[in-house]
Amino acid sequence: MDVVGQQHPGGRTVLAEQQPGQSVVVEVGLGGPRPLRLRADPGTADPAGEPERPGAAEPDLYDYGLPRLLLCQDRATAGMLLANHVHLEAACPVFAAADALPLDPRLLAALQRAEGATVYVLHDASTTGAALPALVRSGLGPAPGLRVVSLGLVPRHAAALRLPAGRGPAPGRAALAALPAALRTREADWLAGGRFAELAAVPPDRLVRTVLRLTRGPRQPRDSLWSGLRGLRGTGFMTWPAA
């Protein structure tokens, strides 16, 4: 897979065909990615105008259940994942959290329509990042059956990946109180000291592979001639009759 990095020295448009006669358009520039939108004719230029809110697409797009959604703390991360077609390969819309929240009511309804839908959150290993999943959960409102799952980073991920860590001012009591209880004591102490590690330090190709693996889950084995023969054999076909 050719992976596009997070550096975007100039604006460009990335097109990824979704179905005949319709393309997903993602514009990436110095200000980060413009939100995802649909274009009816991939052979014509986009009309000029303001970026549309996430979810502002053709109404019939929301007639189906949406099993997963990915929100990124950083716009550059969302832009990199979109440019590498993660939203298509994982069948998972990707947005920057700051641009997507609060979710468009139609997008939220599509998530609720799919049983056991999941909103994944990708964030830095920092007090702000660690608190983001809880903020997303509270921003969704009463949504029974809708899960919010953090993909990291958390401090132990940063340590395992040997990411460079920075240090800023020590967080206040409110920031520390917002840290998730699932953090280990050493991780909470690490964050309490003002340390942080940014998701942007993860190599783009590794991040793309990890996000695809975690969001789409294990891939179903493809049917082949041999698997078909084994299936027939197991059900009594292709065997000699007993004497």
The backbone torsions φ and ψ at residue 76, rounded to the nearest 5 degrees and listed phi first, read -65, -35
CA distance 172 to 174: 6
Using one digit for the tens of pLDDT, what is the confidence trace for 169-209? Answer: 999 999 999 898 889 999 999 999 999 999 999 999 999 99
Instruction: Tell me the percentage of the chain whose pLDDT exceeds 70.
Output: 63
Residue 197 carries which DSSP code? B
Q: What does the pLDDT read at residue 29?
A: 35
Q: What does the pLDDT read at residue 143?
A: 81
Q: Which helix (H) or strand (E) holds 18?
A: strand 12-19
Determine if the pTM surpasses 0.75.
no
Beta bridge partners of 32: 29
Q: Which helix (H) or strand (E) holds 107?
A: helix 105-113
Q: Is 83 left (phi over 0), alpha (psi -120 to 50) or beta?
A: alpha
* Ranges under pLDDT 70 in the chain: 1-62, 217-243
**Parallel, antiparallel or unpaired: strands 32-33 and 94-96:** unpaired
* No. of helices (H) and no. of strands (E), the chain: 10, 10
Q: What does the pLDDT read at residue 14?
A: 37
Q: Which two tokens stand for residue 236?
A: 């009594």
Q: What does the pLDDT read at residue 139?
A: 86
Would you say the C-alpha torsion 118, 78, 187, 192 has a positive or negative sign? negative
Q: What does the pLDDT read at residue 237?
A: 41
Q: Which two tokens stand for residue 205?
A: 């190709």
CA distance 176 to 171: 7
| CB 29, CB 35: distance < 8 Å | no
